[in-house]
């Protein structure tokens, strides 16, 4: 047993190392690499790993962990603001897709009960594929990211009632009248008995307990563990929170992923949120990769070879129906054309819960073994098709759809080669561009959001479509002859990847980058980037200066205090860079620096007080200074 386990682990790691980098090198999604690895070592190819169910159980935890991390990014108020998308887009998508798919399956000759089960199963989308793509593209805060999350949350909640409905549907399939009556009586008895109220009461009680526990138990516990500086203990605590949240909802018969998501939301405003993310991210990435490998293992090629045209027709029909429904609903929600296309592709596949529902239906004898095997292959192939559709969206569909009339500008080669290249033309990039253009600099603007390109085109701004993280795009934009490249895209990891790419291939170019925070600024400094700005620092500094003026400080005094704070923080940024890997020394430096800053500010305040006293202004009421 131990030897087989070691062999399975070795096969998983070897296939991943061999095929995932190969997929990335070919410009494809890493998901395709994982799927190919699963196919290669699975029971239907080399057979190096035969216990796919065990692998699936472990891999499912990757989805649980991913939703916990997604929850950490959402404050409860953000979730409340999404209620219209959850109830409107999410619920409507589930119902509409189920109705259309059920009608199609009915035409194929299935009973209405089996057709409804299949329709409900295939209406689910893959949380792993959709949210992993959203995370990689740094679009979780966009309309597309939030709409995708809303749809997936509804689907997670719907799994339990769907599973509960299957036995009742089976009971109604060709059963005698007395059996149906007996089953209906049992259902009615369960609903009216006191025990029928236990589950709803337990759900409410668990949520209230989680709400109070997250604030009065978990946060003090995280503070205590953090004080010990035992990083392995904090990592264990992070895993404990994820497992505990998943077990809570599992005990109530609900989705473990939903429990993990709620747990993440309850801790979204915690000061330890970033520490939790840093500790869990490596586990999440590894387990999600394992999930995609398990999907590849589930593809039974004997089913494909027996009925290749049937399989192909079912996959195309499934993807086509789901894309059409999502595109129409996104249109009603007034999303941009590019966002409509992207969300339709992101959620076009069947999901991991389809495997569970179909297997449960087979065990309940609602589906035969062959039907389950056939539909399982269709689900897996629809997942495998999503990365290919996204690739087509990036390279073909998006450039065509963003333009209005004539030859699309984004489809044309980048024919401008200016000395300054700006990657990302959102709000951050627009401010930088306007300042440079006002001084006479000409720039090549590149962005990968078709909706944004379409919007700014109305104002006469020419932006080329392209991914700044691709070397061929940078070369086409004239990076080899450029003087400066401004990285104004969103996403800390993406910024670092682009900066590293530029430093490696175009070392002479000045890199001006957007930094997310102090730690991210240190990472940029490690790459040799010296021109950067933390995206919230200047705005917070400016607000502080305005707040002082509103509290009665003179404009000169407020400006001087803000300048002193900025100079002090800049020195701290430089000094702390060399201590960033020594946590204790870093914390000590920050504390000493804060004490020094307080002393400097107190001295400046006393100087202002003495000057006002000498001028006879000390008794005058403080008046907010106008700008």
Across 410-540, where does the E strand assignment appear? 420-423, 443-447, 464-465, 484-487, 510-515, 531-534
- Nearby residues of 595 by Cβ (< 8 Å), 6 or more positions away: none
Residues 150 and 107 reside in one and the same domain: yes
**Residue 487 DSSP one-character state:** E
Sheet holding 484-487, edge to edge: 464-465, 443-447, 420-423, 484-487, 510-515, 531-534
Question: Phi/psi class of residue 471: alpha, beta or left (left: φ > 0; alpha: ψ in -120 to 50)?
Answer: alpha
Predicted confidence at residue 410, as pLDDT, reads 39
Q: In this structure, what CATH number is given to the domain that contains residue 236?
A: 1.20.1530.20
Predicted confidence at residue 325, as pLDDT, reads 92
Predicted confidence at residue 173, as pLDDT, reads 59
Which regions of the chain are under pLDDT 70? 1-5, 27-29, 50-54, 56-57, 59, 73-82, 138, 140-142, 160, 172-207, 210-211, 214-215, 252-255, 269, 271, 273-274, 397-416, 450-451, 580-581, 583, 586, 590, 593-627
Q: Of the candidates 296, 321, 294, which has an alpha carbon nearest to the alpha carbon of residue 39?
A: 296
Predicted confidence at residue 78, as pLDDT, reads 62
Residue 19 belongs to some domain of the structure? no
- Please list, residue by residue across 100-127, b when 16 or more beta carbons sit within 10 angstroms of its beta carbon and e when fewer do: bbbebbbeeebeebbbbbbbbbbbbbbb
Residues 59 and 128 reside in one and the same domain: yes
Residues 391 and 28: beta-carbon distance below 8 Å: yes
Distance of CA 319 to the CA centre of its chain: 22
Residue 236 belongs to some domain of the structure? yes
Predicted confidence at residue 207, as pLDDT, reads 64
- Tell me how many domains the chain contains: 3
Q: Decide: helix, strand or coil at residue 622.
A: coil
Residues 558 and 574 reside in one and the same domain: yes
- Tell me how far apart the alpha carbons of residues 605 and 414 are, in angstroms, rounded to a whole number: 55
Residues 512 and 578 reside in one and the same domain: no
Residues 442 and 417: beta-carbon distance below 8 Å: no
Dihedral sign, Cα of residue 240, residue 242, residue 248, residue 252: negative
Predicted confidence at residue 175, as pLDDT, reads 46
Predicted confidence at residue 512, as pLDDT, reads 93
Predicted confidence at residue 236, as pLDDT, reads 82
Which of 363, 378, 400 delimits the end of a domain?
400
Residues 130 and 155 reside in one and the same domain: yes
Residue 412 belongs to some domain of the structure? yes
- Tell me how far apart the alpha carbons of residues 130 and 99 are, in angstroms, rounded to a whole number: 22
- pLDDT tens, position by position, 406-442: 333 334 456 567 889 999 888 888 889 988 888 888 8
- pLDDT tens, position by position, 305-346: 888 898 899 999 999 999 999 999 888 887 777 778 888 998
Predicted confidence at residue 177, as pLDDT, reads 43
Predicted confidence at residue 3, as pLDDT, reads 46
Residues 399 and 410: beta-carbon distance below 8 Å: yes
Predicted confidence at residue 618, as pLDDT, reads 40
Which of 496, 511, 535 delimits the end of a domain?
535
Residues 289 and 20: beta-carbon distance below 8 Å: yes
Its pTM surpasses 0.75: no
Residue 98 belongs to some domain of the structure? yes
Predicted confidence at residue 540, as pLDDT, reads 87
Residue 419 belongs to some domain of the structure? yes
Residues 275 and 390 reside in one and the same domain: yes
Residue 219 belongs to some domain of the structure? yes
44 token code pair: 């239907």
Residues 479 and 581 reside in one and the same domain: no
The residue range of the domain holding 425 is 403-535
Residues 382 and 414 reside in one and the same domain: no
Residues 520 and 547 reside in one and the same domain: no
- Tell me how far apart the alpha carbons of residues 70 and 134 are, in angstroms, rounded to a whole number: 10
Which of 503, 519, 535 delimits the end of a domain?
535
Residues 357 and 419 reside in one and the same domain: no
Residues 156 and 75 reside in one and the same domain: yes
- pLDDT tens, position by position, 526-539: 888 889 888 888 88
Residue 115 belongs to some domain of the structure? yes
Q: In this structure, what CATH number is given to the domain that contains residue 461?
A: 3.40.50.720
Residues 272 and 220: beta-carbon distance below 8 Å: no
Question: Phi/psi class of residue 504: alpha, beta or left (left: φ > 0; alpha: ψ in -120 to 50)?
Answer: alpha
User: What count of Cα atoms within 13 Å lies in the side-chain half-sphere of residue 75?
Assistant: 6
Residues 452 and 372 reside in one and the same domain: no
Residue 39 belongs to some domain of the structure? no
């Amino acid at each position: 047993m131990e030897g087989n386990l070691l062999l399975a682990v070795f096969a998983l790691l070897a296939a991943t190392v061999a095929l995932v980098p190969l997929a990335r090198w070919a410009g494809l999604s890493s998901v395709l690499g994982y799927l190919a690895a699963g196919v290669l070592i699975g029971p239907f190819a080399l057979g190096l790993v035969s216990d796919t169910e065990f692998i699936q159980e472990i891999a499912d935890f990757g989805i649980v962990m991913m939703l916990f991390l997604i929850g950490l990014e959402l404050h409860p108020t953000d979730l409340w603001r999404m209620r219209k998308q959850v109830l409107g887009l999410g619920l409507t998508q589930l119902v509409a897709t189920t109705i259309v798919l059920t009608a199609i399956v009915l035409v194929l000759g299935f009973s209405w009960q089996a057709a409804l089960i299949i329709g409900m199963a295939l209406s689910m989308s893959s949380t792993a594929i959709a949210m992993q793509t959203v995370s990689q593209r740094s679009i979780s805060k966009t309309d597309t990211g939030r709409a995708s999350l809303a749809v997936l949350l509804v689907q997670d909640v719907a799994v339990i009632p769907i599973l509960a409905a299957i036995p009742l549907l089976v009971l109604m399939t060709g059963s005698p009248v007395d059996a149906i009556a007996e089953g209906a009586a049992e259902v009615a008895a369960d609903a009216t008995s006191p025990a029928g109220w236990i589950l709803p009461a337990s759900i409410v009680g668990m949520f209230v307990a989680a709400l109070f526990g997250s604030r009065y138990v978990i946060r003090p516990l995280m503070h205590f563990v953090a004080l010990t500086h035992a990083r392995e203990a904090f990592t264990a605590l992070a895993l404990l929170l994820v497992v505990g949240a998943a077990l809570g909802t599992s005990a109530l018969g609900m989705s473990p992923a939903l429990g993990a998501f709620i747990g993440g939301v309850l801790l979204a405003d915690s000061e330890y949120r970033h520490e939790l993310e840093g500790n869990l991210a490596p586990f999440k990435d590894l387990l999600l990769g394992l999930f995609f490998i398990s999907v590849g293992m589930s593809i039974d090629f004997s089913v494909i070879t027996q009925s290749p045209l049937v399989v192909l027709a079912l996959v195309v029909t499934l993807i086509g129906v789901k894309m059409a429904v999502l595109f129409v609903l996104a249109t009603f929600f007034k999303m941009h054309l590019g966002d409509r296309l992207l969300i339709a592709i992101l959620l076009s596949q069947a999901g991991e819960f389809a495997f569970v529902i179909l297997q449960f239906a087979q065990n309940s004898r609602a589906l035969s073994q062959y039907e389950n095997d056939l539909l399982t292959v269709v689900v897996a192939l629809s997942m495998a098709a999503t990365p290919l559709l996204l690739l087509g969206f990036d390279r073909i569909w998006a450039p065509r759809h963003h333009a209005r009339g004539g030859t699309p500008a984004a489809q044309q080669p980048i024919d401008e080669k200016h000395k300054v290249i700006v990657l990302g033309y959102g709000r951050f990039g627009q401010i930088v561009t306007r300042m440079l253009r006002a001084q006479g600099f000409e720039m090549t603007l590149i962005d990968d959001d078709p909706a944004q390109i379409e919007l700014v085109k109305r104002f006469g701004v020419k932006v080329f479509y392209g991914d700044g993280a691709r070397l061929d795009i940078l070369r086409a934009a004239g990076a080899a002859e450029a003087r400066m490249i401004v990285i104004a895209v969103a996403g800390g990891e993406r910024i670092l990847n682009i900066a590293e790419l530029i430093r490696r291939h175009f070392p002479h170019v000045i890199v001006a980058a957007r930094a997310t925070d102090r730690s991210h600024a240190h990472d940029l400094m490690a790459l040799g980037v010296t021109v950067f700005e933390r995206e919230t620092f200047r705005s917070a500094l400016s607000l502080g200066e305005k707040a002082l003026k509103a509290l009665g400080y003179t404009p000169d005094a407020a400006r001087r205090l803000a300048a002193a704070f900025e100079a002090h923080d800049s020195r701290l940024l430089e000094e702390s860079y060399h201590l960033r890997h020594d946590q204790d020394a870093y914390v000590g430096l920050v504390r000493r620096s804060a004490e020094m800053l307080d002393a400097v500010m107190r001295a400046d305040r006393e100087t202002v007080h003495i000057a006002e006293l000498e001028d006879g202004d000390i008794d005058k009421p403080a008046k907010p200074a106008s700008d």
